[in-house]
Copies of this chain bind each other. A is one copy, B any other.
């Protein structure tokens, strides 16, 4: 299995010691075409990967160095055709242009290139964007909604976890004129891996376990990202789009559930109407599963799928979507985007 067949495409993972890095490496270890060839870390000391994550023992491909290597742009370019960046936003803006310049395609899992308007980015993330040229050419990698933009792209902004599920659920309803663009309330709940690997007081098992809480009410950075996707998906209604985003922290490791309430845009709307719209929107997109019943987090966990259900309840549209924040919400979607950039089967090795 790990023999370096000529058909294999060597890739780098830059920032492999966080949870999205680990998830990506586990996916790449069994990917039929992409082969991890360079694990690059900004840490002062090289990290032995099987010490960071003992679960990788015996599973890394034969040729891969056991320790992380420095983020050396030339070395990465010498060995790899594509790099996944699992870095803080600021670091991503620093390394992406260097890699692109050397002919390495980039799938960036940070938020650095997600928000097209640098002012919106600065407001949401609290610092100026330092690579506006990169931002201008970056493509937002949500293939089921904006797949046509990805052809010929070299830099992909991999969407956020919450925004992937929210946009996939709401966009078709706006596009087909079923829901009021100013109405969406996204009640969302995520497992703790979404908050990263850094230990923080509210993330310990003694605090986060047997608990549930709201956070970032009305100020979460994913709210403008969701709105941007909806404006793109329904450009004629762009000015009216407004989303209320209410994230919560679940006492689980991974997975997201979003329960979304919208006002119908016209009278007499039925459950069949909204279901039909969703089914048509995702007819050729196997990673979005349109369901007749509300999905649970477990349905999507450790899969590359988003499960969606929608219905009319007391005159409102109520939709429920499940996604794995580390898979379709991060690493699996990054692999999907990389597959597209490399011109191979978009779904190869995504789960």
Q: A187-B187, A289-B57 are in contact. Are A294 and B217 (CB under 8 A)?
A: yes
CA distance A246 to B259 in the complex (A): 8
Task: Check if A250 is an interface residue, CB within 8 A of chain B.
Answer: yes
Residue-wise, chain A 29-51 has the 8 Å CB interface mask toward B (1 for contact) of 01010000000000000000000
Task: Check if A248 is an interface residue, CB within 8 A of chain B.
Answer: yes
Residue-wise, chain A 290-329 has the 8 Å CB interface mask toward B (1 for contact) of 0100111111111101010001011010101000000000
Task: Check if A148 is an interface residue, CB within 8 A of chain B.
Answer: no
Residue-wise, chain A 144-156 has the 8 Å CB interface mask toward B (1 for contact) of 0000000000000
Q: Which of A172-222 contact B (CB under 8 A)?
A: 185, 187, 189, 191-193, 197, 199-201, 203-215, 217-218
Task: Check if A108 is an interface residue, CB within 8 A of chain B.
Answer: no
Q: Which of A193, A206, A214 has the most CB of B within 10 A?
A: A206
| Copies of this chain per assembly | 4
CA distance A155 to B252 in the complex (A): 40
| In the complex, residue of chain B having the shortest beta-carbon distance to the beta carbon of A261 | B185
Q: In the assembled complex, which residues on chain B have CB atoms less than 8 Å from the CB atom of A197?
A: 201, 204, 206
Q: In the assembled complex, which residues on chain B have CB atoms less than 8 Å from the CB atom of A206?
A: 19, 191-193, 197, 203, 253
Residue-wise, chain A 327-345 has the 8 Å CB interface mask toward B (1 for contact) of 0000000000000000001
- Are A187 and B259 in contact, with the CB atoms below 8 A? yes
- Are A55 and B303 in contact, with the CB atoms below 8 A? yes
Residue in B208, B211, B302, B318 whose CB lies within 8 Å of A246: B318
- Are B313 and A253 in contact, with the CB atoms below 8 A? no
- Are A214 and B58 in contact, with the CB atoms below 8 A? no
| In the complex, residue of chain B having the shortest beta-carbon distance to the beta carbon of A185 | B261
CA distance A300 to B57 in the complex (A): 9
Nearest 3 pairs of A and B residues by beta carbon:
A218-B313, A213-B296, A54-B299
Having A192-B204, A251-B252, one finds 17 other A-B pairs with CB under 8 Å, namely A55-B305, A57-B289, A58-B305, A192-B206, A197-B204, A203-B205, A204-B204, A205-B208, A207-B298, A209-B251, A210-B298, A212-B255, A213-B296, A214-B257, A214-B259, A244-B261, A244-B314
